[in-house]
Amino acid sequence: MKNITQVIGKTLLVFLLSNLMVIVYFIYIYSSIIESVNVELIVKIIKQFGLIISIPTTILFVLMDMIFIKIIKNNWTLYLIRIIAFLGLLYIMCLIFSVYIITSALIDNPLAK
* pLDDT digit string, tens, across residues 92-112: 988 888 888 788 777 776 555
8 Å CB contact between 47 and 28: no
CA 39 centroid distance within chain: 20
Residue 78 lies in a domain: yes
Residue 69 lies in a domain: yes
Predicted TM-score (pTM) of the model is 0.78
Question: What per-residue confidence (pLDDT) applies to 109?
Answer: 61
Given a cut of 60, whether residue 113 has pLDDT beyond it is no
**pLDDT single digits (tens) 43-85:** 988 888 888 888 999 999 999 988 988 898 898 998 999 999 9
Residue 112 lies in a domain: no
Residue 13 lies in a domain: yes
Residue 81 lies in a domain: yes
Backbone angles phi, psi at 86, to 5 degrees: -65, -50
**pLDDT single digits (tens) 4-41:** 898 899 999 999 999 998 888 888 888 888 888 889 88
Query: Alpha-carbon distance 65 to 83, whole Å?
Result: 11
Specify the number of domains making up the chain. Answer: 1
Domain with 44 in it = 2-107
Rg of the chain, C-alpha, whole Å: 17
Residue 25 lies in a domain: yes
Query: Alpha-carbon distance 109 to 100, whole Å?
Result: 14
